[in-house]
Amino acid sequence: MIGKKSVLVFLAALVVAFISCRKDEPDDPVQTPAPESPVVFDLDSVPYSTLSHYNFFSGNMANMQPVQGVLPYELTTSLFTDYVHKGRFAWMPAGSKASYVSDGDVLDFPEGAVLIKNFYYNNVQPTNSRRLLETRLMIKKNGEWIFADYVWNDAQTEATFDLSGSHAQLTWMDDNGQLHDENYRIPSEVECVTCHKYNGQSIPIGPKPESLNFILNYTDGPMNQLGKWEAEGYLQSGYPANIETVAKWDDPDETMDRRVRAYLDMNCAHCHSEGRHCDYRPMRFAWNETTDPVNIGVCVPPDDPTVEPSQQFIVYAGNTARSMLHYRISSTDEAVRMPLMGRTVRHEEAIQLIGDWINAMPDTCQ
């Protein structure tokens, strides 16, 4: 009898304990909040006078180590700018994200989004070290994109807001040990607008799904960039799974045609497209338009009176010497060279590629 009573008392105690524990548990599991970004950003106050004010980078700012929420990104093919290196990052306010428009259109970014691009050379003489020259920001403010350029000091400790335009002289060494004297152009706001304008408004050029749709090595492992942006809360889900990716222009495993199209897309289409600076010219260099060789100018007469008389076609199939496109990308003359801005030296590797591509065509132009 005593044993049965003891068992009943024990069971009753277990029931009470279980009920007490259930009362202590919340109705729903507690979600661990994502770490807040330490970026300092007041939309009413930007652009700040110094780059450090934003707190985009941790520790020594010149090391370009992004803080939480500042996401690095790259493009399959980058705009050539006198062999300068570029470090790209994106940041968006908490709870906001970009959305897909089309493969070839820049993502629709939310209010307060910031695109960050650092410009630097490696192996700068005489110390053979890296030198940051400028950091360009594009900020989505009041529904429009504004520019903020920050010029780095010689000590590489700070960059100061300056949209007046300037030059930076330096000497750098390439991977073959060749020295190059550079008079690098830091653009003015007017120059920025020239390349970035679309139907009278300024927009970014690079972050299009077709240029982001590839695997990038992040500090926490490799991942497709679009998937990473979605996982970080920077891109709305539901974008197509079959985005056609722009080729990497210097990838020897790609066809020559795709490599040339990729190069023209990034280096020329921002002017030679509808609503852009040079939309009055016949060329249309966007990736999705150059499957038609006529849009590249193959066997199309130039409408520019400033070219050499020998340039009979924009692209003279089989003959670089008579191709205006090859002539312009080879020139450093300000009145002739293409692109108009951002390049003062010859991009030798691209000139070789496009020359080989033209010469490989059968001579079909009459």
250-267 pLDDT per residue, tens: 999 999 999 999 999 999
Q: What is the per-residue burial (b if ≥16 Cβ within 10 Å, else e) of 246-266?
A: bbbbeeeeeeebbbbbbbbbb
pLDDT on residue 261: 96
pLDDT for 99 beyond 70: yes
The answer to whether residues 56 and 116 touch, using CB atoms and an 8 Å cutoff, is yes
pLDDT on residue 9: 40
**pLDDT class of 271 with cuts at 50, 70, 90:** confident
Q: Whole-angstrom Cα distance, residue 261 to residue 281?
A: 18
**Residue written as token pair 């044993």:** 3
Q: Whole-angstrom Cα distance, residue 157 to residue 159?
A: 7
**pLDDT class of 277 with cuts at 50, 70, 90:** low
- Report the predicted TM-score, pTM, of the whole model to 2 decimal places: 0.87
pLDDT on residue 265: 93
Query: What percent of the chain lies above the pLDDT cut of 70?
Result: 87
Residue count of the chain: 366
pLDDT for 33 beyond 50: no
The answer to whether residues 130 and 122 touch, using CB atoms and an 8 Å cutoff, is yes
**pLDDT class of 98 with cuts at 50, 70, 90:** very high
Which range, 225-239, 307-321, 328-342, is most confident?
Answer: 225-239
What pLDDT, in 10s, does the model give residues 140-192?
A: 999 999 999 999 999 999 999 999 999 999 999 999 999 999 999 999 988 88
pLDDT for 138 beyond 60: yes
The answer to whether residues 82 and 345 touch, using CB atoms and an 8 Å cutoff, is yes
Report residue 203 CA to chain centroid gap. 12
Q: Whole-angstrom Cα distance, residue 213 to residue 203?
A: 20
The answer to whether residues 163 and 151 touch, using CB atoms and an 8 Å cutoff, is no
Query: What percent of the chain lies above the pLDDT cut of 90?
Result: 72
pLDDT on residue 272: 66
What pLDDT, in 10s, does the model give residues 9-29?
A: 444 444 334 334 433 433 443
User: Does the CA dihedral 60-63-69-70 come out positive or negative?
Assistant: positive
Q: What is the mean pLDDT of residues 321-332?
A: 93
pLDDT for 360 beyond 90: yes
Question: What is the CB-side half-sphere exposure of residue 239 using CA atoms within 13 A?
Answer: 27
Cα angle 168, 171, 176; round to 5: 140
**pLDDT class of 35 with cuts at 50, 70, 90:** low
- Minimum mean pLDDT among 81-85, 100-104, 332-336: which range? 332-336
Antiparallel, parallel or unpaired: β 144-152 and 159-161: antiparallel
Q: Across the chain, what does the average pLDDT equal?
A: 88
Amino acid present at 280: Y
pLDDT on residue 274: 64
pLDDT on residue 352: 97
User: Does the CA dihedral 180-183-211-226 come out positive or negative?
Assistant: positive
Q: Whole-angstrom Cα distance, residue 297 to residue 323?
A: 9
**Residue written as token pair 């709870």:** 95
Q: Whole-angstrom Cα distance, residue 283 to residue 137?
A: 29
In the three-class reduction of DSSP (H, G, I as helix; E, B as strand; rest coil), residue 17 is classed as helix
- H/E segment holding residue 359: helix 348-359
